[in-house]
Amino acid sequence: MKISEVLSNAAKGFAMGAANVVPGVSGGTIALISGIYSKIVDALSACTDKATWKALLKGHFKEFWTCINGGFVLSLAAGILISILSLAKLVTWALAEYPVLTWAFFFGLILASVFYMLVGIKGWKLFDAIFLIAGIGLGLAVCFLTPTKTPDALWFIFIAGAVSICTMILPGISGSFVMQILGKYEYIMKAIDVSAFNWPVIIAFGAGCVVGLLAFAKFLKWLLSRWEKQTMIVLVGFVLGTLLRVWPWYDMQAVEAAGHGLQITGAVAFCLLGIAVTVLIQILSSRKG
């Protein structure tokens, strides 16, 4: 793999990690619009194939590395990890101090993503509208869920990791938002703060992520291989439905606590910036394709 490819994959991983840190924003959406979504699903699914582990056990390391698309996975994972560790504190600060501007940026980014996802689905039929409406309805339902009080025991942290990681690879469904619903978003963000790592929590959460990711990737590949168009339409509907959660003035309590007012002009500017970033990612991805 060329250095340029490694850096490109790492940059896309960094963008995915940044998105996954923010409640309401999906790293899967970033993967989809940057043209690496199917490669991620294929690589994760390969990790559960017998042939892959048979090659490893027999010492055929090159074959194993090829099966899981190792170079791609490693560079992408490095980007995601660097992003999460470096941006966790910054994003939580931005959401607390400048919630309107932060949400406006991601609103624009997701709105533009919806456009590209809709354009990417070919051969629309009238019946497909049912799947789109169903996805929108499910997305809205998720938005109205409220965080609950849950235990801090390591077994529940493991479950939270397994559940949230599944949504992190789905466009339109935010793993961070799911962690909020499970009442573990702030708890995990504090645990991965580079100034005070909580290793037992990190290990339990990481183990849950690995188990959940491998199990779900297999199901997702099966689903996409049989009903790819319908699945993608429902996912686009999810993105549209969950846009409500990213509306800059959705949480007025947080807006008032920040004390900067409604910041309508700034919100419009940051929304346009988010749209521009998505368009730029799309243009760069198209050129590489």
Average the pLDDT over 247-270 and give the result.
91
Average the pLDDT over 70-84 and give the result.
89
**pLDDT at position 104, please?**
93
Average the pLDDT over 17-41 and give the result.
74
Number of domains in the chain: 1
Q: Is the pLDDT of residue 257 over 70?
A: yes
Segment of 23-32, 243-252, 267-276 carrying the highest mean pLDDT: 267-276
Give the chain's mean pLDDT.
83
Q: Is the pLDDT of residue 264 over 90?
A: yes
**pLDDT at position 47, please?**
81
Long-range CB pairs of 162-168 (<8 Å, 24+ gap) are: 162/208, 162/209, 162/211, 162/212, 162/215, 163/208, 163/212, 164/209, 164/212, 165/208, 165/209, 165/212, 165/213, 165/216, 166/212, 166/213, 166/216, 167/26, 167/28, 168/20, 168/26, 168/27, 168/28
- Give per-residue pLDDT as tens, 93-107: 888 899 999 889 988
Q: Is the pLDDT of residue 288 over 60?
A: no
**pLDDT at position 265, please?**
95
Confidence of residue 289 (pLDDT cuts 50, 70, 90): very low
- Give per-residue pLDDT as tens, 206-236: 999 888 888 887 788 788 788 888 888 887 8
- Give per-residue pLDDT as tens, 139-177: 888 777 766 678 889 999 999 898 888 766 776 666 777
Domain that holds residue 200: 3-288
Distance, first Cα to last Cα, the chain: 16
Q: Is the pLDDT of residue 35 over 60?
A: yes
**pLDDT at position 116, please?**
79
